[in-house]
Structure 1
Amino acid sequence: MEEAFTPLGKGLLADLVAATTPLRPFDADGDRQRGACPFHADPTESLYVTSWVWHCFACHSGGDAVRWIMRSDGVDRNEAIVVLQRHVDFHR
């Protein structure tokens, strides 16, 4: 059975990304941020992060919070979900 997508929190992905790379806002409403991509040498801040997804326009990596954890921690999807759940529980 497929479960409906439930947003976990507006700042969740930005919090996860900011633990790896500094981010700075780049629009007036603060919903988007950018920074240097930690997955390659990035002098131009090619990494863009919204409330729900991230994408690097230089190395073309991207995804959601689970994919970020998979990529940054080098874990599989199931382990990334466990890490994400711990993060959510910690910040409740």
Structure 2
Amino acid sequence: MMPTIPATNGHDSWSNPGPGRAINVSLDRAAVESLCVKHQTKISAIETLPKGGTRVVMMNGDDAEAMRRVFGNKILTGTVTREHWARVVR
């Protein structure tokens, strides 16, 4: 019999941190970068989505929350398709 693991994995204070730092938007990469500069938020990672739009990961939750307000209705909801990448070792 498998042990029962609580939904919070026993760490109530940090297991459900709320919205993440990643945001998918229907804007192109240049527009996202420009808005982040304008609003003085820092980008951790950014990638162009294959079907249009951009995925941006902010450095911290405060920056992510600020940019969610800026992006507004440009935020993509639901699942988005991302490019598969592989590290090539030679």
Identify, as 1 or 2, the structure richer in helix: 1
Superposition TM-score, scaled by structure 2 size:
0.28
RCO higher in structure (CA 8 A, sep ≥6): 2
- Greater C-alpha radius of gyration: 2
